[in-house]
Amino acid sequence: MNRYYIFGMLLLIFIAGCIQTTAPPTEEKPPTTITPPIKECRTLPTEEPYIEEECINVTYVEEECTLKELEYIVSPVTKIDLCTSGTCTGKPISECFYSCTSAMTRCQMNITNKDEKHSGTWVVGANFGYMSASFVKNPQTAEIPPGGTHTFDFEQMYNMGELPTIASCTLTVLYPAIVRDCVQVEKTRVDCKNVSKVRIVQREVCD
């Protein structure tokens, strides 16, 4: 009987222990909010590099040229008629008109360059007429200095014929002198370039 009694007591102790070890359910707590530390901020001057365009006015001299015709003076044509035959050779035809069988007519014209700075080149042509014939001479070219004068000289030989006739002549300026007239002109232009600079800016710094 004692054995059953002891066994019963042990069973009661075991059941009581099981009942006591079962813990009641716990309530969930809300998560804890962590407040971050407060930062201290301040404004500090800071150097900042930047690029700036700088422009300046630059004075320079440039040559400007134009074409111009030089002023000139043309003299009247001087005409000389000489005999080139017999005893009258070298004499004016007017002195031995009917005894001269061949002659030479010489025509001259002066051109004076009126420009005070430039030399120029003139081209002059001549045309001789004798009875029904015409003789066009090769043009003559001459460079005339400032204020200078040049004589253009043409001549034509011909036979007088049975009815003595004196040749005529015409001198013409074919090409007047044209030069480049240049002057130095002062001008202004704007030159620009990029320059590296540094400026002070205020920046916020927080600890």
> In sequence order, what DSSP letters do the residues of 132-194 get, joined into one string?
TEEEEPPPEEEEE-TT-EEEEEEEEEEE-TTTT---EEEEEEEE--EEEEEEEEEEEEEEEEE
CA distances from 112 to 50, 133, 138, 150, 151 (A): 68, 32, 21, 7, 9
User: What pLDDT sits at residue 45?
Assistant: 83
Cβ atoms of 81 and 92 within 8 Å: the answer is: yes
Percent of the chain with pLDDT strictly greater than 70: 82
Q: How confident is the model at residue 6 (pLDDT cuts 50, 70, 90)?
A: low
Task: Name the residue ranges covered by the structural domains of the chain.
Answer: 41-63+185-206, 72-176
The residue length of the chain stands at 207
125-167 per-position pLDDT tens digit: 999 998 888 899 999 999 999 999 999 999 999 988 777 788 9
Q: Quick check: 173 pLDDT over 90?
A: yes
Closest among 119, 166, 173, 123 to 147, alpha carbons compared: 119
Average pLDDT, the chain: 84
CA–CA distances in Å: residue 13 to residues 5, 8, 9: 13, 9, 6
* pLDDT winner (highest mean) among 7-11, 30-34, 74-78: 74-78
Helix, strand, or coil here: 26?
Answer: coil
Q: Determine the pLDDT at residue 7.
A: 57
Q: What is the CATH number of domain 72-176?
A: 2.60.40
- Rounded to whole angstroms, the Cα distance separating 51 from 54 reads 10
- Percent of all residues in the chain with a pLDDT value above 90, rounded to a whole number: 43
pLDDT tens digits, one per residue of 74-131:
999 999 999 998 888 989 988 888 888 899 999 999 999 999 999 999 999 999 998 8
3-class secondary structure, 24? coil
CA–CA dist 22, 99 (Å, integer): 175
How many angstroms separate the CA atoms of 88 and 107, rounded? 20
The DSSP 8-state label assigned to residue 92 in this structure reads B
pLDDT value at 51 more than 80: yes
Confidence of residue 25 (pLDDT cuts 50, 70, 90): low
Question: Per mean pLDDT, which range of 16-25, 51-60, 78-87, 143-152 is the poorest?
Answer: 16-25
Largest CA distance in the chain: 205
Q: Which has more pLDDT, 109 or 60? A: 109
The pLDDT value recorded for residue 176 is: 96
| Cα–Cα distance measured from residue 111 to residue 143, given in angstroms and rounded to the nearest whole number | 10
Predicted pLDDT at 107 = 97
Please name the helix (run of DSSP H) or strand (run of DSSP E) that holds residue 12, with its range, or none: helix 2-21
